[in-house]
Chain A
Amino acid sequence: MDPNASGKSFAPYEFRVERGKIKEFAGAIGDPNPLYRDPEAARRAGLPGIPAPPTLLRTFLYETPDAKDALAVQDWSYIVHGEQEFEYLAPIYAGDVLTAQDRIVSVTEKESRRAGKLQIGVIETTFTNQRGEIVQIARRTLVETGKRISE
């Protein structure tokens, strides 16, 4: 990883949170909750629309490779997704149009007896909705190990 990538931010990208994607995602995590599928059920529960599951937005971080590219990883088979964090600032519903902005928060190094020299990169994504409200902040921690990840 390139330590100089720390602090870089990237072009924002926009996407719509689609109802079909929420249903598909809920199905993929085995969640039968009708609120993710039925607008009537959501309304009865007092919600203005079909809500996004807590980990849905990780899905949209594949939209642009810019931040990952800037980390300048030499071999992705040496990379582990160490940690993923979400801050929930406002609810997200189907039909919302979100703008995501990626920033590399830090690139640090650490010595590990088991895995050799570790480089730890943190990418933060801020999601803003169509009303300009920040709805969610996601942070993913990628760890580059000195050795190939295998059993």
Chain B
Amino acid sequence: MTRPSYDRIAVGDAPAPLVCGPLTRTDFVRYAGASHDFNPNHHDEVYAKANGNRTVFGMGMLAGGYCARLLTDWFGIGALTRLRLRFVSRFWPGDVLTCTARVTGKRIEAGRRLVDCEFSAVNQAGEVIIRGDATAAL
């Protein structure tokens, strides 16, 4: 992996999309164990249905983890200076999430060469699951 250089990166640049899924209940359970998120809506079918959901749904932070992975694949591990995730809608077993990002600006601040970007994760129907923005120091 080569990091993009500050001089060459331009507004509108985008990494190759990251496609995750089709997601399974096992993916949710695995993330529950790794993240300690034991909200039963994410792993307990009986509970989730009793709460008015058609089945269990994925954790926002799981989709957020996929988005963060797109960014570390792009900018390199350790480059991010900030990351913001907005949880727009839920996702379900069988969904395929596609994460994309694009550069929205670049600036030099206190000697640091910063690149701003926005990103999203959308499902197979094009519905936005996560929207976010981040800054990387290159």
Q: Which residues of A contact B (CB under 8 A)?
A: 21, 24-25, 27-31, 33, 35, 45, 47, 51, 53-55, 58-60, 62, 77, 80-88, 91, 148, 150-151
A35 touches B77 (CB 8 A): yes
Residues of chain A within 8 A of B62, CB atoms compared = 28-29
Q: How many A-B residue pairs have CB under 8 A?
A: 104
Contacts of B20 in A (CB 8 A): 30
Once the chains bind, are B72 and A29 in contact (CB under 8 Å)?
no
When chains A and B are docked, how far (Å) is the Cα of A148 from the Cα of B41?
A: 13
A47 to B83 Cα, complex, angstroms: 21
B57 CB to nearest A CB, Å? 10
The answer to whether the Cβ of B127 comes within 8 Å of any Cβ in the partner chain is no
Compute how far the CA of A35 lies from the CA of B73 in the bound complex, rounded to whole angstroms.
12
The answer to whether B34 touches A21 (Cβ under 8 A) is yes
Contact of A30 with B66 in the complex, beta carbons under 8 Å: yes
Alpha-carbon distance A62/B33, docked complex (angstroms): 12
Q: Which residues of B contact A150 (CB under 8 A)?
A: 51-53
The proximity string for B residues 15-42 relative to A, scoring 1 for CB distances below 8 Å and 0 otherwise, is 0000010000001001101111110000
- Name the interface residues of B40-76: CB closer than 8 Å to any CB of A: 51-54, 60-62, 64-66, 68-69, 71-73
**B34 in contact with A59 (CB, 8 Å):** yes
For residue B137, which residue of chain A has the nearest CB?
A88
Q: Which of A59, A62, A84, A150 has the most CB of B within 10 A?
A: A84
| Given A25-B35, A29-B65, A54 contacting B80 (CB threshold 8 A) | yes
Establish whether residues A29 and B31, one from each chain, have CB atoms under 8 Å apart when the complex forms. Answer: yes
Contact (A55, B87) CB under 8 Å given A24-B34, A33-B72: no
- Give the chain A neighbours of B86 by CB distance below 8 A: 82-83
The SS class assigned to the A binding surface is mixed
**Which residue of B30, B35, B68, B87 contacts A83 across the interface (Cβ within 8 Å)?**
B87
For residue A28, which residues in chain B have a CB less than 8 angstroms away from its CB? 27, 30-31, 33-35, 62, 65
Complex: chain A residue closest to B29, CB-CB:
A28
**Would you give the 0/1 interface string for B87-112, flagging 1 where the beta carbon is closer than 8 Å to chain A?**
10000000000000000000000000
**A148–B51 alpha-carbon span in the complex (Å):** 9
The CA-CA distance from A53 to B17 in the complex, in Å, is 19
Cα–Cα, bound, A151→B48 (Å)? 12
Contact of B35 among A31, A54, A59, A86 (CB under 8 A): A59
Q: B126 interface residue, CB < 8 Å from A?
A: no
Give CA–CA (A150, B34) in the complex, Å: 26
- Per the bound structure, the CA–CA distance linking A80 and B62 in Å amounts to 15
25 inter-chain pairs at a CB distance below 8 angstroms, sorted by A residue, are A28-B35, A29-B31, A30-B20, A30-B69, A47-B77, A53-B69, A55-B83, A58-B35, A59-B34, A59-B37, A60-B36, A82-B86, A83-B84, A83-B87, A84-B64, A84-B85, A85-B83, A85-B85, A86-B80, A86-B82, A87-B82, A88-B82, A148-B52, A150-B51, A151-B53
